[in-house]
Amino acid sequence: MENIIFHIDVNSAFLSWEAVYRLAHKGGSLDLRDVPSAVGGDITLRHGIILAKSIPAKDCGVKTGQTIAEAKKQCPNLMLVPPNYGLYEECSAAFMDILREYSDIVEQFSIDEAFVDMSASCHLFGTPEGTAREIKDRIRDELGFTVNIGVSDIKMLAKMASDFRKPDLVHTLYLREIRQKMWPLPVSEMFFVGRATAKKLFSMGIRTIGELAQSDPAWLKAVLQKQGEVIWGFANGVDLSPVLAQPLPNKGYGNSTTAPFDVTDTETANRILLALSETVGNRLRSDSVKIQVVSVGIRYYDLSYFSHQRVLDAPTDLTLEIYSAARGLFLELWDSRRIRHLGVHTSRAKKDDPGRQMSLFDEIDYEKLAIMDRTVDAIRDRFGIDSVKRTVFLNQPVDHMSGGISKATGLPWEKRTVDYDRVTVL
């Protein structure tokens, strides 16, 4: 059976979803996609970066990941709209539902993109290119936003194809087409090649994907380690990874957050570490896994970064046990400089844990803590995550559950929605 893999990528997802919502539900007449506009984080919380941009904004030089101040310099008339994560989750689910009408093997790669294995079902709908156009048009006509679809016989090439000219287009990049369509491209456009790797490849005299493909793989591996071997394979169309309807289990869980102000005291740092431990613990229990390694990362005001880790005596999913380890690591690591960003990360995640080995010297009632955590989780699941919070967070600027990315949605853990009564919709 011939492999047929689609990669579907929403065009300027966050901005497109906001534009469609304003036009369809808020009485808007201006399409944000037609003017220089962008979705930006909250400057007051120091999350002031560009999350998504329109094509006219891109033409002005605005880039995703730029600070809002930098973007405004590039494009003084840039229209900024706030992020609306609840809306994004709904829009993502809607287009994923359409994809599942065409195949039962759909791998959600992120909030706004997915791989679909059409090998066993494409013949029911027509040619690969025709079926991709049908899916693209249905998403546009039924949901109001556009996607690009890449069609290939392997995942990596399908993703590369979807990044070709945008928006609202279907592109093919089969193995037989890589010399013609992919090799002339700059090596910086190769999947898995970031800015640092591209810079290193340029210094090695490798400027196009074709030059990368024809390089000595042993030389690339010697310079770039495992990544050199992987990107050489990608450049030559080597990718054996299947489309996975069910994601692989996490090997570790972590959350981090940028504080709205520089942290200069242990008490405030501990609150942030506890808030991060709350979200990490909740995710562990939700996935029925336990971890045995906890690490803490600190990014100082000058953006320098340091981390430290500890192996626990027993695997755990308890919020307070994770927090206790994180607090101890922080005290060992912090050098009293002003802190901009804190993270709590875990590893050695295991699903089938035999249970904790009891000790005569235990001073903590772990069973009681486990019952408390599960009860709090259940209340938050039913009534919202703000329905129960620890008193240490009352009347404090630190959110009691903050930081990181939710595995289920790929969205920031933050609960921010948009109050449209306070937003001018043009």
pLDDT value at residue 279: 92
**What integer pLDDT is reported at residue 360 of this predicted model?**
56
pLDDT of residue 367: 87
Cα(372)–Cα(370) distance, integer angstroms? 5
Q: Nearest-CA neighbor of 171 among 187, 156, 160?
A: 160
What DSSP element (H or E) covers 315?
A: strand 305-316
CATH of domain 1-176: 3.30.70.270
Catalytically annotated residues: 113
Q: What is the pLDDT of residues 318-367, one digit of tens each?
A: 999 999 999 999 999 999 999 988 999 999 998 866 666 666 556 678 88
Domain ranges of the chain: 1-176, 182-235, 254-393
Six-digit token string for 315: 């695997």
Q: Which positions of the chain have pLDDT values less than 50?
A: 405-413, 415
What pLDDT was estimated at residue 398?
82
- What does the angle CA 114 – CA 117 – CA 121 come to, to the nearest 5 degrees? 130
Are 36 and 79 in contact by the 8 Å Cβ rule? The answer is yes
Per the listing, tokens 């772990």 go with 366
Closest CA to 194 of 342, 49, 65: 65
Q: Does domain 182-235 have CATH number 1.10.150.20?
A: yes
Q: Evaluate whether 393 touches 400 at the Cβ level (below 8 Å).
A: yes
DSSP state, residue 49: B
SS3 at position 340: strand
Domain 254-393: CATH architecture, name and number where available: 2-Layer Sandwich (3.30)
Give me the pLDDT at residue 356, please. Answer: 66
Instruction: Enter the tokens of residue 300.
Output: 């100082």
